[in-house]
Amino acid sequence: MTVFILIAAVLALAAFSYRFGRGAALSAAGGQSRSLHSRPGYYGAYTALWCAVPAFLIMAIWLIFQGSVVEALVLNGLSAEKQGLSDSEIGLIMNDIRNLASGNFTATSPDPDIAAAAEHFKSLNATGFAAMAVLALGIGIAGLIWARKKLSPELRARNSVERTITIFLIAASSIAIFTTLGIVLSLIFEAWRFFLQVPLHEFLFGLNWSPQIALRADQVGSSGAFGAVPIFAGTLLISFIAMLVAVPVGLMSAIYMAEYATPKFRSVVKPILEILAGIPTVVYGFFAALTVAPLIRGFGENIGLDVASESALAAGLVMGVMIIPFVSSLSDDVISAVPRSLREGSLGLGATKSETIRQVVLPAALPGIVGSILLAVSRAIGETMIVVMAAGLAANLTANPFQAVTTVTVQIVTLLVGDQEFDSPKTLAAFALGLVLFFITLALNVVALHVVRKYREQYD
């Protein structure tokens, strides 16, 4: 919270700098803004930038490094025997120290050494913060003075300010790249650590998934199995069921909307259908688990089928419903983009409307429709909440939609919610699964966008 106060203080200083710089420039020009190179506001902005940017930079760098520096200092202060402990034990001690310092209760009564360290930690943090505040404000003021020195009617304030703004703009748009980079690097890094412990071929082709790690060496089932084939199969099964629902319903409603519906019907029904896309997935998950799954189970029992209460069918059906508007609005766009001349040619030859659609419009729109279906598949594979709430946890390798299967996203959530240790393959497996998920959806998207774009070029 105190950091926010400091940020507010720096911002206030910057606001002051703006007024100060503006006033200084005006008075240097004798109150005649005409004799300044730039509009007075630019001189203010120039001063404010000189004040705020270095201050914020210092703060950012300080905040990034303060944690690890303080930690290292505290660990150095610990007794020699504690320093000889393994990394994970040191991690535990550090946790205790942090808890103590923030005033939380720890499980055991604190060891005096650790209590002292916690005090040390607290005071180091306080000193660090004070130093940062002084430094940031000091640099802000220094920047202000420096800018004031440079202020003169001849200063090309607008040019420098605009150059800085352009740099900000470039930085903002580069965030997309850094995000992708961050995703790829963090996934690859953690997955790499996983593959050091579990060979890649075992992960990709193994038929057995039970990511338990034993607490004791002699425990039953002590060796976890990390064969992901049942998970991939389960994901495909549920996505397949979803597409069985979404493609026919979505496509037919898109055709009706684009070809038959009156403008009035379209303007009413289309937004209502879009509601389906706006409903949070957790709501679908609740609906699947509470309403659809018992319904299917009851129905199965009535006709003498053995249906699991977390059947793939329930999750798949509801996921299909979620994807309907996705397929329908994308297909609607591509169908509407087919030139009128094609339709009119076909109608003029005596074909009925449905014959025209089936034999002329759909073939012409096919690449776009395929693209939209691919995008929908990637949506289905990456969908999390519906399957977390309605699909199973056990990794069964089956094609029976009435049985419970698990998916990539379900496994990621189960492995990462709760306690985590970042050196056990159990936790790292989630990142390996995430890597697979990322690349599969990426490939599907790239292919789909490529198909759609290529198709568009034909008619535009």
Partner 1 sequence: MTDITKNGSAPLGAPGHQGIAEVVAKGLKKRYAAERRFRMYGLVAIGLALLILLVLFTTIISNGIGAFFQSKVTLDVPLEVSEIDPDQTGDLDVIGKANYRGLVFGSLRADFPGVSGRSNRRALTGLLSSGSDFELRSIVLDNPDLIGTTVQAQVSLSDDADMFLKGNMTDVEVSAGDGTLAMTEDGVLSGGVYAFGNVFIDVKAEFARKADEAENSIAQNQRQLGRIDEELAVTASRLENADDEAQKTTYADTLRNLETLKANVNASLEKLTSDATDFRTRSQSDAGEETLDQSMPSYLVVTNDGVFKILTVTRDKVTTEIVSPPSSLDSSADWQIVKLQTPETDRRLTDKQIGWLHLMQDRGQIESAINSAFFTTGDSREPELAGIWGAAVGSFWTLMVTLVLSFPIGVMAAVYLEEFAPKNKWTDLIEVNINNLAAVPSIVFGLLGLAVFLNVFGLPRSAPVVGGLVLTLMTLPTIIIASRAALKSVPPSIREAALGMGASRIQAMTHHVLPLALPGMLTGTIIGMAQALGETAPLLMIGMVAFIVDIPGGPTDPATVLPVQIFLWADAPERAFVERTSAAIMVLLGFLITMNMAAVFLRKKFETRW
Q: In the window 181-200, what residues touch partner 1 (CB under 8 A)?
A: 182-183, 186-187, 189-190
Q: Which is nearer to partner 1, 208 or 384 (CB)?
A: 384
Q: Which stretch binds partner 1 (CB under 8 A): 193-201, 217-225, 270-278, 336-344?
A: 270-278
Question: What token pair was written down for 231?
Answer: 């998970």
Nearer Cβ to partner 1 (182/339):
182
Asked whether position 123 contacts partner 1 by CB under 8 A, the answer is no
* Using rule CB under 8 A, residue 305 touches partner 1: no
**169 lines the binding site for partner 1 (CB under 8 A):** yes
Stretch that binds partner 1, among 206-214, 226-234, 280-288, 336-344 (CB under 8 A): 280-288
Which of 28-36, 139-147, 198-206, 385-393 is the region at the interface with partner 1 (rule: CB under 8 A)? 385-393
Residues pairing with 225 in the sheet: 210
The residues pairing with 226 across neighbouring beta strands, listed in sequence order, are: 209
437 forms part of the interface with partner 1 (CB under 8 A): yes
Establish if 242 lies at the interface with partner 1 (CB under 8 A): no
Distance CA 10, CA 14 (A): 6
Q: Is 176 in the site for partner 1 (CB under 8 A)?
A: yes
Q: Which of 55, 118, 242, 255 binds partner 1 (CB under 8 A)?
A: 255
Q: How near is the Cβ of 54 to partner 1 at its closest, in Å?
A: 20
Q: Under the criterion CB under 8 A, does residue 127 sit at the interface with partner 1?
A: no
Q: Which of residues 92, 200, 252, 393 is near partner 1 by CB under 8 A?
A: 252
Which residues make Cβ contacts (< 8 Å) with residue 418, sequence separation at least 6? none
Question: Which residue from 15, 105, 1 is spatially nearest to 55, judged by alpha carbons?
Answer: 15
- Applying CB under 8 A, among 15, 135, 213, 249 the residue interacting with partner 1 is 249
Contact between 434 and partner 1 by CB under 8 A: the answer reads yes
If the CB atoms of residues 127 and 359 are measured against partner 1, the closer one turns out to be 359
Per-residue binder mask for partner 1 (CB under 8 A), 148-167, x = binder: ----------x---x--xx-
**236 binding partner 1? (CB under 8 A):** no
Nearer to partner 1, 328 or 406 (CB): 328
Distance CA 244, CA 113 (A): 64
Q: Name which of 137 and 388 has its Cβ closer to partner 1.
A: 388
Q: In the window 306-325, what residues touch partner 1 (CB under 8 A)?
A: 321, 324-325
In angstroms, give the least distance from the CB of 80 to partner 1.
Answer: 26
Q: Per residue, what are the HEC states of the chain?
A: CHHHHHHHHHHHHHHHHHHHHHHHHHHHCCCCHHHCCCCHHHHHHHHHHHHHHHHHHHHHHHHHHHHHHHHHHHHHHCCHHHHCCCHHHHHHHHHHHHHHHCCCCCCCCCCHHHHHHHHHHHHHHHHHHHHHHHHHHHHHHHHHHHHHHHCCCCCCHHHHHHHHHHHHHHHHHHHHHHHHHHHHHHHHHHHHHHHHHCCHHHHHHCCCEECCCCCCCCCCCCCCEECCHHHHHHHHHHHHHHHHHHHHHHHHHHHHHHHHCCHHHHHHHHHHHHHHHHCCHHHHHHHHHHHHHHHHHHHHHHCCCCCCCCCHHHHHHHHHHHHHHHHHHHHHHHHHHCCHHHHHHHHHCCCCHHHHHHHHHHHHHHHHHHHHHHHHHHHHHHCCHHHHHHCCCCCCCCCCCCCCCCCHHHHHHHHHCCCCCCCCHHHHHHHHHHHHHHHHHHHHHHHHHHHHHHHHHHHC
Does 438 interact with partner 1 (rule: CB under 8 A)?
Answer: yes
**Is residue 377 within the footprint of partner 1 (CB under 8 A)?**
no
Taking the CB of residue 281, how many other CB atoms lie within 10 A of it?
18
Q: Is 422 in the site for partner 1 (CB under 8 A)?
A: yes
Question: How is residue 452 written in tokens?
Answer: 């759609």
- Closest-CA residue to 44 (of 27, 62, 65, 23): 23
Please identify, among the stretches 84-92, 126-134, 253-261, 338-346, the one whose residues bind partner 1 according to the rule CB under 8 A.
253-261
Convert residues 53-72 into a mask of x (bound to partner 1 by CB under 8 A) and - (unbound). -----------x--xx----
Contact set for partner 1, span 333-352 (CB under 8 A): 350, 352
x-marked contacts with partner 1 along 76-115 as a string, rule CB under 8 A: ----------------------------------------
> Would you say 144 or 429 has its CB closer to partner 1?
429
The alpha carbon of 31 is separated from its chain's Cα centroid by a whole number of angstroms, namely 52
Instruction: State which of residues 250, 316, 368, 392 lies at the interface with partner 1 (CB under 8 A).
Output: 250
Among residues 91 and 142, whose Cβ is nearest to partner 1?
A: 91
Does residue 262 interact with partner 1 by CB under 8 A?
no
Give 113 or 333: the residue with its C-beta nearer to partner 1. Answer: 333
